[in-house]
Chain A
Amino acid sequence: MTATARAGDAVIREGEAIIRVGDVRKRYGDVRAVDGVTFSVSSGQIFGLLGPNGAGKTTTVEMLEGLRQPDSGRLEVLGIDVARHPDALKERIGVALQTAELYPKLTVVEVLDLFRSFYRRSIPTAQLLEFLDLGERRTAQTRHLSGGQRQRLAVALALVNDPEVVFLDEPTTGLDPAARRALWSLVEQLKAQGKTVLLTTHYMEEAEALCDRVAIMDHGRILDMGSVGDLVSRRFQEKAVQFDRIDGLGDERLAAIAAVTSVRHDDGRDLLYSRDVPATIRDLLGISEEMAVEPQNLTIRRATLEDVFLDLTGRALRD
Chain B
Amino acid sequence: MRALRSLVIAHIRSYVRDRQALFWTIAFPLIFIFLFGSIFSGGTNRTKLGWADEDGSPSSTALREVFSSASLVEIVDGSRADVLEKMRHGDLPGVVVIPKGYGDQVAAAQKGTGPPAQVTVYTDPSQQTQSGSVKGLVGAILAQANLVGRPPAVVADLQDLQTQDLNAVSYLVPSILGMALMQLGIFAAIPLVADRQKLILKRLSATPLRRWQLVGSNIVMRLIIGLVQMILIVGIGAAVFGVKVTGNIAAIGGLAVLGAVAFTSLGYVIASFAATEDAANGMTGAVQFPLMFLSGTFWPIAIMPAPLQAVALVLPLTYLSDAMRQVMVNGAALFPLWLCVAVLVGWTVVCFAIAARFFRWQ
Q: Which A residues have a C-beta under 8 Å from some C-beta of B?
A: 65-67, 87, 90-91, 93, 95, 97, 99, 101-106, 110, 113-115, 117-120, 141, 157
Residue pair B200, A114 in contact (C-beta under 8 Å): no
Q: Kindly state the separation between the CA atoms of A99 and B196 in the bound complex, as whole angstroms.
A: 12
Interface string of B157-194 (1 = CB under 8 A from A): 00000000000000000000000000000000000000
Residue of A at shortest CB range from B18? A105
The answer to whether A118 and B13 touch (CB under 8 A), given A99-B199, A102-B200, A102-B203, is no
Closest to A117 in B: B6
SS of B interface (majority): helix
Q: Is the CB of B203 within 8 A of A114?
A: no
Enumerate chain B interface residues (CB-CB to A < 8 A).
Answer: 2-3, 5-7, 10, 13-14, 17-18, 195, 198-200, 202-209, 362
Whether B199 lies near A97 (C-beta < 8 A) is yes
B206-A117 in contact (CB<8A): no
Tell me if B206 and A66 are in contact (CB < 8 A): yes
| New contact pairs (12) apart from A105-B14, A106-B10, A118-B204, CB-CB < 8 Å | A67-B206, A90-B206, A95-B203, A95-B207, A97-B206, A99-B199, A102-B198, A105-B17, A105-B18, A110-B13, A119-B207, A120-B208
Contact A65 B206 (CB under 8 A): yes
Please determine whether B14 and A119 come into contact, CB atoms closer than 8 angstroms.
no
A118-B203 in contact (CB<8A): no
* Count, A-B residue pairs, CB within 8 A: 62
Do B208 and A101 touch (CB < 8 A)?
Answer: no
Residues of A within 8 A of B2 (CB): 117
Give chain A nearest CB distance to B188 CB in angstroms.
Answer: 15
Q: How far is the CA of A184 from the CA of B254 in the complex (A)?
A: 55
| CA of A157 to CA of B362, assembled, Å | 19
B200 pairs with A103, CB closer than 8 A:
yes
List B contacts of A115 (CB < 8 A).
207
Residues of B within 8 A of A157 (CB): 203
- Asked if residues B14 and A101 are in contact (CB atoms below 8 Å), the reply is no
Chain A, residue nearest B361 (CB): A67
Q: Which residue of B lies closest to A66 (CB)?
A: B206
* CB < 8 Å neighbour of B14 from A66, A90, A97, A106: A106
A105: which B residues are within 8 A, CB to CB? 13-14, 17-18
Cα A149 to Cα B326 with chains together (Å):
54
**B residues within 8 A CB of A90?**
206-208
9 tightest Cβ-Cβ pairs between the two chains A and B: A117-B6, A95-B206, A101-B198, A105-B17, A118-B207, A105-B14, A90-B208, A118-B209, A117-B2
Q: List 24 A-B contacts (CB under 8 A).
A: A65-B206, A67-B202, A67-B205, A67-B362, A90-B206, A90-B207, A90-B208, A93-B206, A95-B206, A95-B207, A101-B200, A102-B200, A103-B14, A103-B200, A105-B14, A105-B18, A106-B14, A110-B13, A114-B7, A117-B7, A118-B3, A118-B204, A119-B208, A141-B17
